[in-house]
Homo-oligomer: A and B are copies of this chain.
Amino acid sequence: MDFELRILGSSSATPSANRHHTAQLLTIDNQFHLIDCGEGTQMQLMLYKIKHQRISNIYISHLHGDHYFGLAGLLSTMHLQGRQQPLHLFGPPGLSEILSLQLKYSGTNLTFKLIFHELDTTIYRKIYEDKKITVHTLPMEHRVPCCGFLFREKPKPRPLIKENLPGFLTPPQLVRLKWGEDIRDEHGNVLVRNSVVTLEPKRSRSYAYCADSRYKPDLLPYLKGVDLLYHEATFLDDMRERAHYTFHSTARQAAEMAAAAQVRHLLLGHFSVRYKDLTPLLEEAKEVFAKSDLATEGSIFCVQE
Question: A14 touching B77 by the CB < 8 A rule?
Answer: yes
Separation in Å of the A114 CB from the closest CB of chain B? 15
Given contacts A47-B17, A69-B69, A72-B65, contact A144 B39 (CB under 8 A): no
Q: How far is B81's CA from A17's CA once the two chains are assembled, in angstroms?
A: 16
Given contacts A17-B47, A69-B73, contact A105 B42 (CB under 8 A): no
* Residues of B with C-beta under 8 A to A105: 63, 92, 94-95, 98, 144
Separation in Å of the A22 CB from the closest CB of chain B? 12
Identify which of residues 45-84 in chain A touch chain B, using a CB-to-CB cut-off of 8 Å.
Answer: 46-47, 63-66, 69-70, 72-73, 76-77, 80-81
Interface string of A170-181 (1 = CB under 8 A from B): 000000000000
User: CB of A40 within 8 A of chain B?
Assistant: yes
Question: B80 touching A15 by the CB < 8 A rule?
Answer: no
User: CB of A107 within 8 A of chain B?
Assistant: yes
* Residues of B with C-beta under 8 A to A132: none
For A, the interface residue count at a CB cutoff of 8 angstroms equals 38
User: CB of A300 within 8 A of chain B?
Assistant: no
Question: B81 touching A73 by the CB < 8 A rule?
Answer: no
Interface string of A100-132 (1 = CB under 8 A from B): 011011110000000000000000000000000
Q: How far is B95's CA from A81's CA once the two chains are assembled, in angstroms?
A: 25
Binding site for B on A (CB under 8 A): 13-17, 20-21, 39-40, 42-43, 46-47, 63-66, 69-70, 72-73, 76-77, 80-81, 92, 94-95, 97-98, 101-102, 104-107, 143-144
27 A-B pairs whose Cβ atoms sit less than 8 Å apart in the complex: A14-B76, A14-B77, A14-B80, A14-B81, A15-B77, A16-B46, A17-B46, A39-B42, A39-B69, A39-B70, A65-B72, A65-B73, A65-B76, A65-B102, A65-B106, A66-B73, A66-B76, A69-B69, A69-B72, A94-B101, A94-B104, A94-B105, A98-B98, A98-B101, A98-B105, A106-B144, A107-B144
